[in-house]
A and B are shown apart, each in its own frame.
Chain A
Amino acid sequence: MPSPGGGIAPRRVTSSEPITEVEKIVQPVGVKELIPGAKADIFNTALPAADADWLGSDIIPTNSPSYLRIYVCVSVAGVLRVARTISEVTVTEDLNSGSDLVANSAYMFTVPWRTGDSVNIRYSVTAGTIKRLLIEEIGGAA
């Protein structure tokens, strides 16, 4: 490229850097399988008051996001609810589409949660027995 004066303009030569380039290679390593984690269990215990928390304290996620697998069997019909608290605000979510669980029948529900959620379990009626409650945390999101 000619310079304004008519001669050949000097070509700037960049001095070589100590590091010439960065190579990047991506390889698959697989996703670590998460073993189910026990979160809560109750056996053969009288129901608390209607819509009172079943667990002494809310449970919180160990892995986020992940799922709660809830197994439950109650001696009397009623609506099972998840009480979810985020930033001190609690909402209730009726399981089984809001229909009563059949007395003495076993049910299993999968409920998603993530960091920031704290969860408890409630039931719409009292005067019965929680035959079994098992809550496990399963799987991270893919």
Chain B
Amino acid sequence: MTQESLEKLIQVQLENQPSIESDRFFVGDSDTVSAGTSLTLTFVLDPLYVVRLVEGYCDARDGLSYQWIINGLSVPLSEVKYYLGKVVHSDIKLIITNPTGTNQDVAYYIHGWGDQKGVS
């Protein structure tokens, strides 16, 4: 590996890791998704921050379907992970649908970090 490519690699890592000034967040909760209903969770972003999402997780249950909406794109999985943290520009949504005849309890969380805009 050349000096240039090594420096570039280090630069990418530095730009995609939280700094000392970064505000890390972990937002989690649990809910009962009643039979025959869908639960839409909207994680509202603070507009003062550039928010990076590292992970979105929800308990996987038989019969339930999941949809993460991140930057307008739909991810039909119970769990999403971004190794370098994904910059999110709009509210993060999780839609949990329960078409079964049984209520289901699920726990979920998102974590990542945010950097205040205009702060170097």
A contact residues vs B (CB 8 Å cutoff): 15-32, 140-142
Bound complex: CA A90 to CA B76 (Å): 43
Chain A residue nearest to B23 in the complex (CB)? A18
Q: Counting CB contacts under 8 A, is B35 at the interface?
A: yes
Q: Decide yes or no: A23 and B44 within 8 Å by CB, A29-B37, A31-B36 being known contacts.
A: yes
Cβ distance B77 to chain A, nearest Cβ, rounded Å: 19
Q: Counting CB contacts under 8 A, is B34 at the interface?
A: yes
Chain B residue nearest to A31 in the complex (CB)? B36
Bound complex: CA A20 to CA B110 (Å): 13
Chain B residue nearest to A18 in the complex (CB)? B114
Pairs across A and B, CB under 8 Å, 12 listed = A15-B23, A18-B51, A20-B45, A22-B42, A23-B41, A24-B41, A26-B40, A28-B37, A29-B37, A31-B100, A140-B100, A140-B102
Bound complex: CA A134 to CA B99 (Å): 28
Across the interface, A26 reaches (CB within 8 A) one of B29, B38, B51, B101, namely B38
Q: Counting CB contacts under 8 A, is B82 at the interface?
A: no
Q: Which residues of B contact A28 (CB under 8 A)?
A: 36-37
Interface of B: prevailing SS: strand
Cβ distance A75 to chain B, nearest Cβ, rounded Å: 38
Bound complex: CA A31 to CA B35 (Å): 7
Chain A residue nearest to B36 in the complex (CB)? A31
**How many B residues, CB 8 Å from partner?**
31
Bound complex: CA A142 to CA B99 (Å): 11
Cβ distance B89 to chain A, nearest Cβ, rounded Å: 13
Bound complex: CA A110 to CA B23 (Å): 59
Across the interface, B25 reaches (CB within 8 A) one of A18, A24, A27, namely A18
Contact A16 B36 (CB under 8 A): no
Bound complex: CA A142 to CA B43 (Å): 31
Further contacts, 17 of them, CB under 8 A, given A19-B25, A22-B44, A32-B100: A17-B25, A18-B45, A19-B44, A19-B45, A22-B27, A22-B29, A24-B31, A24-B39, A25-B39, A26-B37, A28-B36, A28-B37, A29-B98, A29-B99, A31-B35, A141-B102, A142-B101
Bound complex: CA A26 to CA B36 (Å): 10
Q: Which residues of A contact B42 (CB under 8 A)?
A: 22-25
Bound complex: CA A21 to CA B90 (Å): 13
Q: Which residues of B contact A140 (CB under 8 A)?
A: 100-102
Across the interface, A18 reaches (CB within 8 A) one of B38, B101, B102, B112, namely B112
Cβ distance B115 to chain A, nearest Cβ, rounded Å: 9
